[in-house]
Amino acid sequence: MKAVAVLPALREVRLLDHPAPDLSADTHVRVRTLDVGICGTDREICTFVYGAPPRGESYLVLGHESLGEVVEVGGAVTQFKTGDLVVPSVRRPCPHAHCRPCRAGLQDFCATGDFVERGINQVHGYMTEQYVEEARHLNHVPAGLRHLAVLAEPLTIAEKGLAQAWATQGRLPWACTTPGKPRGHGLRAVVLGAGPIGILGAMKLVLEGFDTWVYSRSPKPNAKAALVESFGARYVSSAGTDAAQLARQVGNIDLVYEAVGHAGVSFALLEMLGQNGIFIFTGIPAPEGHIPVPGPQLMRNIVLKNQAIVGTVNADRAAFEGAIRDLGEFQKRWPAAIRAVISSRHKPDDFRDLLTGHARGIKNVISFE
Ligand SMILES: NC(=O)c1ccc[n+]([C@@H]2O[C@H](COP(=O)([O-])OP(=O)(O)OC[C@H]3O[C@@H](n4cnc5c(N)ncnc54)[C@H](OP(=O)(O)O)[C@@H]3O)[C@@H](O)[C@H]2O)c1
Ligand SMILES: [Zn+2]
Ligand SMILES: [Zn+2]
């Protein structure tokens, strides 16, 4: 089978021939790949800073944002049949009996760090014609989401982030309880960054009823600002407005969803977090480098304003189910906007430019059909 893979020892990215996997357990499902999304993680793996092949192999098949079609099921699989659309999750649990999160099926909270991830760390990914997976790691997708469901995995970051926010802010009578109003009604959210993670996060926040601002680098007018404003969020550029000016426009910032991966602008915005606010970090900056941070002021705010700071990585089954459900809602409410998040579709042969060329668009997708 055709597969896009990275060979770290040779520092190469190649389209190569990869053996078709067998159904070796009656709980296995064979899936034909339809779409695979490309993100910053794939592009970073192609700079060889991380990303490990399975033990004893020379290459790692890339791809963790996937939509596929079931083509064969094992004898014990009852929840899927041939023709079903599925989105697989990414992280697989560590083997340790004492890791309570993994043993509870919450490997996104793995306590040992010995998890593996498809297309990232020690397990082949989905950028190939077919793959085999345990049925329990697949999520059912309605046929009507055929052209959007490749966005489910990147949307899970916001789904889990919001779930963490609701859980944390359960300490307050935070959610709106007015009948007919969504939970975030009356609350103000700032999304930091207008990449795919930020744009999908902003859609989720608008859906939940938050008055939502997206704060990102490029000045207006630009395509991402227009997209964000088409589904009811406001776009402010950091080029003309600093974090303090943004906070004066917004009022009390109840929630920040950070999707930028840069510490400087993130900590500037943390300083502006409002009374009883929550700051959700999702970005993963490079580890090197130091920035000056106003520690005493931040600490005073966190204490005197009852603030909460939550980091979130990866996602659980509930987040995948929520993402698939919310993609259906986005399609109903903002069909043009959610379609526009997928900025281009390509054949597998275009892999090199997509993975190692100049970054462009929002979510670029490789289609294997
Ligand atoms: N926690 C998780 O599980 C998880 C999963 C996936 C990704 N991530 C992380 O999520 C972050 C966002 O991912 P992405 O794919 O959406 O990234 P991306 O495509 O690089 O988008 C980043 C956005 O931030 C904006 N930006 C960059 N520097 C800025 C600054 N100094 N001030 C204001 N805006 C700035 C960019 O503006 P322009 O449009 O002008 O370039 C862009 O819109 C990354 O750090 C990634 O590692 C986390
Ligand atoms: Zn990704
Ligand atoms: Zn674990």
At the fourth CATH level, which superfamily is domain 154-311?
NAD(P)-binding Rossmann-like Domain (3.40.50.720)
Please check whether residue 82 is in contact with residue 94, taking contact to mean a CB–CB distance below 8 angstroms. no
Sort strands 234-237 and 211-216 into parallel, antiparallel or unpaired: parallel
Q: Please give the C-alpha separations between residue 59 and each of 14, 53, 209, in angstroms, as whole numbers.
A: 9, 5, 45
41 C-alpha to ligand 2 centroid (Å): 6
At 121, is the secondary structure helix, strand, or coil?
A: strand
Per-residue pLDDT tens for 81-106? Answer: 999 999 999 999 999 999 999 999 99
pLDDT of 288 higher than 90: no
CA–CA distance, 14 with 10 (Å, rounded to integer): 11
CB 62 within 8 A of CB 42: yes
- How do residues 25-72 score in pLDDT, each as one tens digit? 999 999 999 999 999 999 999 999 999 999 999 999 999 999 999 999
Alpha-carbon span 210 to 199, nearest angstrom: 14
Q: Cα of 102 to ligand 3 centre, how many Å? A: 4
- CATH architecture for residues 2-141+341-367: Alpha-Beta Complex (3.90)
Q: What pLDDT is recorded for position 354?
A: 97
Q: Does residue 287 carry a pLDDT above 90?
A: no
Residues near ion ligand 3 (CB < 5 Å) are 94, 99, 102, 110, 112
pLDDT of residue 369: 86
Residue 215: pLDDT band with limits 50, 70, 90: very high
> Is pTM beyond 0.85 here?
yes
Per-residue CA distances from 82 to 13, 22, 148, 236 (Å): 32, 16, 20, 46
Q: For residue 280, how far is its CA from the centre of ligand 1 (angstroms)?
A: 14
Residues of the chain with CATH 3.40.50.720: 154-311
195 lines ligand 1 (CB under 6 A): yes
Mean of per-residue pLDDT scores for the chain: 97
CA dihedral 169, 172, 178, 179 (to 10 degrees): 60
Q: Which residues surround ligand 2, an ion (CB under 5 A)?
A: 39, 41, 65
CB 273 within 8 A of CB 305: yes
Q: How far is the CA of 296 from the centre of ligand 2 (A)?
A: 35
Residue by residue, DSSP assigns 48-102 as: TSS-BPSTT-S-EE---EEEEEEEEE-TT--S--TT-EEEE--EE--S-TT-HHH
What is the spatial distance between Cα 77 and Cα 72, in angstroms, rounded to a whole number?
A: 10
pLDDT tens-digit map of 20-30: 999 999 999 99
Which residues make up the CATH 3.90.180.10 domain(s) of the chain?
A: 2-141+341-367
